[in-house]
Amino acid sequence: MKIIDKLNQKGIHISFEVFPPKTDAGFDKVLSATDEIAKLNPSYISVTYGAGGGTSKNTAKIASHIKDDLGVMSLAHLTCASSTKEEVGEVIENLKAHGIENILALRGDIPEGMTFPDGDRFHYAYELVQEIKKHGDFCIGAACYPEGHVEQEHKEDDIRYLKQKVDSGVDFLTTQMFFDNDIHYNFLYRIREAGITVPVLPGIMPITSAAQMKRSQELSGTVFPRRFLAILDRFGSSPEAMKQAGIAYATDQIIDLLANGVNNIHIYSMNKPEIAIAIMNNLSEITKC
């Protein structure tokens, strides 16, 4: 089944994300975390892709396990900047051979020292979207950035290129993490005005430690609101208190989004079933509405 068909159904849809192990040794641990998350009956589970290729072979394996053994829809991420066009084509064919129908098409980070244009590689995600469409009838998702992509100086350009990407054949978008819902509402308003009409899933990252916050900030350049910083200041030194506060903060963000008419939510569950379970427990009555 295709994710877009599910998202078009009435009701609240909550999905989760897992990432493959860095080495084969961690494979079973990731599988058992995924199995726990699948018990929450999510709309789908997405599996990230190691941009450098290191963990990429496990993406298809885990996405197949989710679909075939757990009976949950899966979304396989795929990046293109660090692979040749031929390699990208092989990965798409491999996903097809595994019966995977849903792909999140990403550029990935540009490897150091690589310059574009390079005839042998895709430079932007929209080119990958076009390539995926040549290989079959996939449901294609893509990334978007409510605070703007870190490489893009002007937000209008980011939205213009996002429109180009969506027009290339994207069925739905998932956002980069954000911690102030007003930024998301503002973004939604601007992209709808620009003519982007596909479903947009806000990506919610439960931050449960100071170290994780620092990593997230480095990765995405996101702004942490004063309210979040106060939580970190007060509870950051107590791991259990910070975990509880981070779960509450993510829950609060989700409740606000649902209350404001957003029906699709993607949670960056980061191979931590206990956090996914705690959030879903907090939402147990809300998701029935």
Least Cβ distance, residue 145 to ligand FAD (angstroms): 6
Least Cβ distance, residue 248 to ligand FAD (angstroms): 23
Nearest residue to 144 (alpha-carbon basis) of 220, 47, 88, 82: 220
Question: Which residues are marked as active site?
Answer: 17
C-beta of 145 vs 249, nearer to ligand FAD: 145
Least Cβ distance, residue 266 to ligand FAD (angstroms): 7
Nearest residue to 235 (alpha-carbon basis) of 210, 252, 256: 210
Name the residues that contact ligand FAD, by CB under 6 A.
48-49, 51, 77, 79, 106-109, 124-126, 143, 149, 151-152, 158, 161, 164-165, 174, 176, 203
C-beta of 130 vs 244, nearer to ligand FAD: 130
Q: Is the CB of residue 265 less than 8 Å from the CB of residue 258?
A: yes
Identity of the residue numbered 124? Y
Q: Is the CB of residue 81 less than 8 Å from the CB of residue 123?
A: yes
Q: Is the CB of residue 2 less than 8 Å from the CB of residue 139?
A: yes
Least Cβ distance, residue 264 to ligand FAD (angstroms): 13
Least Cβ distance, residue 244 to ligand FAD (angstroms): 26
C-beta of 126 vs 138, nearer to ligand FAD: 126
Q: Please give the full DSSP string across 97-157, using - where no structure is assigned.
A: HTT--EEEEE--PPPTT--S--TTS--SHHHHHHHHHHH---EEEEEE-TT--TT-S-HHH
90, 95, 99, 100 alpha-carbon torsion, rounded to 10°: -150
C-beta of 88 vs 143, nearer to ligand FAD: 143
Q: Please give the full DSSP string across 184-197, using - where no structure is assigned.
A: HHHHHHHHHHTT--
Distance CA 289, CA 286 (A): 6
Q: Is the CB of residue 276 less than 8 Å from the CB of residue 269?
A: yes
C-beta of 158 vs 171, nearer to ligand FAD: 158
